[in-house]
Amino acid sequence: MASTTTTTRRPIGLAFALTPLLTPLAFFPICALYFLATGDYHAGSSWSASLGFFYLFGVPLGYLAIGVLGWPLITLLRRQHRLSAGYVVLGASIIGALAFACFIVAIGTHPNPGTAFTSGLTIVGGLIAGLLSGIIFCLISGVPMTTHA
């Protein structure tokens, strides 16, 4: 019987296709809880409009991040036989923080764009989005928890 060289249990392309679509949906409740806890909710905005904003900007940003940084990360991990959930989630968290900071600078919502890359809220938001993205990617693709040499 021929052995397979894949290190995932399911097609990895499916994870690349679906992760950017599902991440905003997973990120939204965390942001909603944050805004409710801090009282930073604006009376003129609605939760559905906020979720729409997440999809309007989050999905394209997600595809850009996964295409430019995520795909090379997964390729590198596969070549080095280190494709595991821990490495994917760690890499996705870093990519998320970087992508989120770039996005904040690009849309100009940060009061001082030069500090967006050092803003705690921006970094934490990006880390959380990346963490969720990595988890979703691993669940869809079946990336194992540990590497198998």
Digit-coded pLDDT (tens) for 94-106? 999 999 888 877 7
Q: How many CB atoms lie within 10 A of CB 131?
A: 21
User: In this predicted model, what pLDDT tens digit does every residue of 111-126 receive, in sequence order?
Assistant: 665 665 567 777 888 9
Burial class (CB in 10 A: 0-12, 13-18, 19+), 114: exposed
- Separation between Cα atoms, residue 107 and residue 60, nearest integer Å: 13
pLDDT at position 141 is: 94
Q: How many CB atoms lie within 10 A of CB 2?
A: 4
Residue extents of the structural domains in the chain:
16-38+52-141
pLDDT at position 67 is: 94
pLDDT at position 113 is: 56
pLDDT at position 63 is: 95
